[in-house]
Amino acid sequence: MNELNILVAAAKTDFGQAATPADLENAKALFLGKSGRITEMMKGLSALSVEEKKSRGAAINQAKQAIESALNLRREALADTELQAQLQAEALDVTLPGRQRGAGGLHPVSLTLERIEAIFSSMGFEVAQGPEIETDWFNFTALNTPEDHPARSMHDTFYVEGGSATAPNLLRTHTSPMQVRHAVQHVKKHRAATGADTAGEGLFSGAMPEIRVIAPGRTYRVDSDATHSPMFHQCEGLWIGENVSFKDLKFVFTDFCRTFFESDDLVLRFRPSFFPFTEPSAEIDIQFQGGPLAGKWLEVAGSGQVHPNVVRNMGLDSEKYIGFAFGMGPDRLTMLRYGVNDLRLFFDGDIRFLSQFQ
Binding positions for ligand DAH, rule: CB under 6 A: 174, 176, 236, 275, 278, 281, 302-304, 325-327
Considering the complex, state which of residue 275 and residue 346 has its C-beta at the smaller distance from ligand DAH: 275
Q: In the complex, what is the shortest distance from the CB of residue 200 to ligand DAH, in angstroms, rounded to a whole number?
A: 27
Q: From CA 139, how far away is CA 155, in angstroms rounded?
A: 11
> Helices then strands (H, E): number in the chain?
11, 10
Q: In this complex, which beta carbon is closest to ligand DAH, that of residue 31 or of residue 277? A: 277
Under 8 Å between Cβ of 316 and 331: no
Angle between helical axes of 330-338 and 108-122 (0-180°, round to 10): 110
By beta-carbon proximity to ligand DAH, the closer residue of 157 and 281 is: 281
The residue among 15 and 256 lying less far from ligand DAH, judged by its C-beta, is 256
50-89 and 3-17 are packed helices; what angle lies between their axes, rounded to 10 degrees? 10
7, 18, 62 from 38: Cα distances, Å: 9, 19, 11
What is the nearest approach in angstroms of ligand DAH to the Cβ of residue 288? 22
- Is 169 or 278 the residue whose CB approaches ligand DAH more closely? 278
Shortest separation between residue 221's beta carbon and ligand DAH, angstroms: 9
Write the DSSP symbol of residue 225. Answer: B
Q: In angstroms, rounded to a whole number, what is the distance separating the alpha carbons of residues 45 and 4?
A: 14
Smallest separation, CB 95 to ligand DAH (Å): 57
CB of 18 or CB of 178, closer to ligand DAH: 178
As a whole number of angstroms, the distance between CA 81 and CA 88 comes to: 11
DSSP annotation string for 275-321: ETTEEEEEEEEEE-SSSTTTT-EEEEEEEEEEPHHHHHHTTB-TTT-
DSSP bridge pairs for 204:
316
Between strands 211-220 and 126-127, the pairing is: parallel
Q: How far is the CB of 94 from ligand DAH (least distance, A)?
A: 58
With contact defined as beta carbons under 8 Å apart, do 93 and 54 qualify?
no
Min CB(303)–ligand DAH separation in Å: 5
- Residue 245 CA to residue 322 CA, distance in Å, equals 8
Do 116 and 235 form a contact (C-beta atoms < 8 A)? Answer: yes
Q: Which is nearer to ligand DAH, 130 or 302 (CB)?
A: 302
Least distance in Å: CB of 131 to ligand DAH? 16
Nearer to ligand DAH, 71 or 238 (CB): 238
Q: How far is the CB of 354 from ligand DAH (least distance, A)?
A: 26
